[in-house]
Amino acid sequence: VQLQASGGGLVQPGGSLRLSCAASGVTLDYYAIGWFRQAPGKEREGVSCANSIDGNTYYADSVKGRFTISRDNTKNTMYLQMNSLKPEDTAVYSCATGHISSCSQGPLTVLNMDYRGKGTLVTVSS
């Protein structure tokens, strides 16, 4: 199983980025998906999680209303649309999936998923 995140970069506060995560060796359509991040000197934080069964989505309070998780099953790819970015959103963002269909612990579910990809760096700075 491979998950490859891309789309990170440098963006000014208030700007937007869309992260992508292409999967191989696993069919995302069957499983819950999610994103987590890790800022320098801080612990990993579950950012968002999406069920496969009903499509319900869950977000950390810190990103609620600004970030949107989605998936394109035809491309076996998940996305994280990030709007109104803040300097505190600066982190390495990674995608994850596993053999579960629902985010029973909300965004925290992502931290225990079976498969996690290498991250992409997002820097929010003027």
pLDDT tens string, the chain, 126 residues long: the values are 999 999 999 999 999 999 999 999 999 999 999 999 999 999 999 999 999 989 999 999 999 999 999 999 999 999 999 999 999 999 999 999 999 999 999 999 999 999 999 999 999 999
pLDDT at residue 25 in the model: 95
Helix, strand, coil percent values for the chain (each to nearest 5): 10, 45, 45
Tokens of 65: 């209303």
Tokens of 94: 């990674």
Q: Match 């999680």 to its residue by tokens.
A: 49
Spatial separation of the C-alpha atoms in residues 28 and 97, rounded to whole Å: 7
pLDDT at residue 34 in the model: 98
pLDDT at residue 107 in the model: 96
pLDDT at residue 91 in the model: 98
pLDDT at residue 1 in the model: 94
Residue 88: closest CA among 117, 62, 70 = 62
Say how many C-beta atoms besides its own lie within 10 A of residue 56's C-beta. 12
Residue 107, helix vs strand vs coil = helix
Spatial separation of the C-alpha atoms in residues 29 and 50, rounded to whole Å: 11
pLDDT at residue 108 in the model: 95
pLDDT at residue 89 in the model: 98
What single-letter DSSP state applies at residue 99? S
**Triad 4, 24, 90: Cα angle to 5°:** 20
pLDDT at residue 57 in the model: 98
